[in-house]
């Protein structure tokens, strides 16, 4: 069994402020907790019979995880490859049996996390077929494109609830709850224990096949930017069009074309 893990930080237990997520002087504790949560997920995968686990560090510099803090044998992708797969770099390297997301957070415009956003803060929203997208949904589609079921997610309560709506049989472990500009957090040790147990359940409950995202036959992508100049600039992307001062529209039938558009116009 081969397992792919994508790990973010804003949905890690304890996340409450951008200063902790981005400022090197202040984020070390959160980076350590991110490593502990990923380590729990990896160990659960190995204890469930996984022969190979590839972890994608998917936050900020993509150099947050302490590899020494992960179980021996864990493969880790550090840094940005600058390919179209972004937070899912490596998903195309082999045929994975399941994907796991840790530390994930609510999408833009959501009150479920004080750090809610989708990709970058200069983006107001990304909508596909009329649905406001989170990074979870974008990345679940990427996994689905390669035939990989997304069986587990940990993060804030809101994204876990939305993940259940998107993939009803996914196993979820909420570790924080947003309350305005603050977070209500469970104990960090409890978070790692719940993640370990949740991943073991997700890999043994026989529901993986039901966690494969069904790909739409067509994609209408509308990005709303914070400023009109960025929208005007990115409307020059082949196939894209400016539909208002701050909105750019792009349509495709192949999700890889969507990822290419996002790579150049939202990354």
Classify residue 85: in a domain, yes or no.
yes
**225 and 197 share one domain:** no
Q: Which of 172, 188, 211 is the last residue of a domain?
A: 211
In this model, does residue 97 exceed pLDDT 90? yes
Classify residue 124: in a domain, yes or no.
no
User: What is the residue range of 236's domain?
Assistant: 219-265
Classify residue 126: in a domain, yes or no.
no
pLDDT of residue 18: 82
List, for residues 63-76, the tens digit of each pLDDT value. 999 999 999 999 99
Classify residue 127: in a domain, yes or no.
no
**82 and 195 share one domain:** yes
> What is the residue-averaged pLDDT of the chain?
95
Q: How far is CA 75 from CA 15, 39, 48, 211, in A?
A: 25, 12, 17, 24
**165 and 195 share one domain:** yes
Q: Which residues of 194-207 are buried (b: 16+ CB within 10 A; e: fewer)?
A: bbbebbbbbbeeeb
Spatial strand order in the sheet of 241-242: 131-132, 123-128, 219-225, 247-252, 241-242
Tell me the mean pLDDT in the region 66-94.
Answer: 97
pLDDT of residue 25: 64
Classify residue 106: in a domain, yes or no.
yes
pLDDT of residue 24: 65
List, for residues 186-222, the tens digit of each pLDDT value. 999 999 999 999 999 999 999 999 999 999 999 999 9
List, for residues 142-177, the tens digit of each pLDDT value. 999 999 999 999 999 999 999 999 999 999 999 999
**53 and 93 share one domain:** yes
DSSP code for 64: -
**91 and 154 share one domain:** yes
Q: How many domains does the chain have?
A: 2
Question: Is residue 13 within 8 Å of residue 191, measured between CB atoms?
Answer: yes
**37 and 110 share one domain:** yes
Question: Is residue 191 within 8 Å of residue 207, measured between CB atoms?
Answer: no
Q: How far is CA 146 from CA 15, 35, 96, 231, in A?
A: 31, 26, 9, 30
In this model, does residue 27 exceed pLDDT 80? no
| β-sheet bridge partners, residue 55 | 5, 76
**CATH number of the domain that 168 lies in?**
3.40.50.10780
Classify residue 128: in a domain, yes or no.
no
Classify residue 224: in a domain, yes or no.
yes
**176 and 261 share one domain:** no
In this model, does residue 23 exceed pLDDT 90? no
**168 and 234 share one domain:** no
**231 and 197 share one domain:** no
What sign does the CA torsion over 90, 91, 94, 100 have? positive
Classify residue 43: in a domain, yes or no.
yes
**103 and 207 share one domain:** yes
| Dihedral angle, C-alpha 71, 77, 79, 80, nearest 10 ° | -150
pLDDT of residue 241: 98
What sign does the CA torsion over 93, 140, 136, 229 have? positive
DSSP code for 182: E
């Amino acid at each position: 069994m081969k397992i792919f893990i994508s790990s973010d930080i804003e949905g890690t237990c304890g996340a409450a402020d951008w200063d902790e997520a981005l400022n090197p002087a202040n984020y070390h504790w959160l980076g350590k907790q991110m490593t502990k949560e990923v380590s729990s997920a990896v160990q659960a995968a190995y204890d469930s019979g996984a022969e190979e686990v590839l972890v994608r560090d998917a936050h900020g510099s993509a150099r947050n995880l302490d590899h020494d803090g992960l179980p021996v044998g864990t493969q880790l992708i550090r840094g940005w490859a600058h390919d179209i797969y972004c937070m899912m770099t490596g998903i195309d390297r082999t045929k994975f049996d399941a994907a796991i997301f840790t530390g994930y957070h609510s999408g833009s415009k959501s009150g479920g996390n004080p750090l809610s956003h989708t990709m970058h803060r200069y983006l107001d929203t990304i909508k596909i077929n009329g649905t406001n997208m989170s990074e979870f949904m974008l990345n679940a589609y990427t996994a689905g494109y390669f035939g990989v079921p997304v069986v587990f997610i940990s993060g804030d309560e809101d994204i876990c609830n939305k993940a259940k709506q998107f993939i009803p049989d996914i196993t979820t472990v909420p570790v924080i709850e947003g309350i305005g500009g603050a977070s209500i957090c469970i104990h960090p040790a409890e978070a790692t224990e719940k993640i370990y147990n949740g991943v073991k359940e997700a890999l043994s409950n026989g529901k993986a096949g039901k966690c494969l995202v069904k790909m739409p036959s067509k994609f209408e992508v509308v990005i709303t930017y914070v400023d009109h100049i960025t929208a005007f600039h990115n409307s020059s992307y082949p196939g894209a069009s400016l539909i208002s001062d701050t909105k750019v529209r792009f349509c495709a039938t192949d999700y890889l074309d969507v990822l290419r558009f996002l790579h150049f116009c939202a990354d």
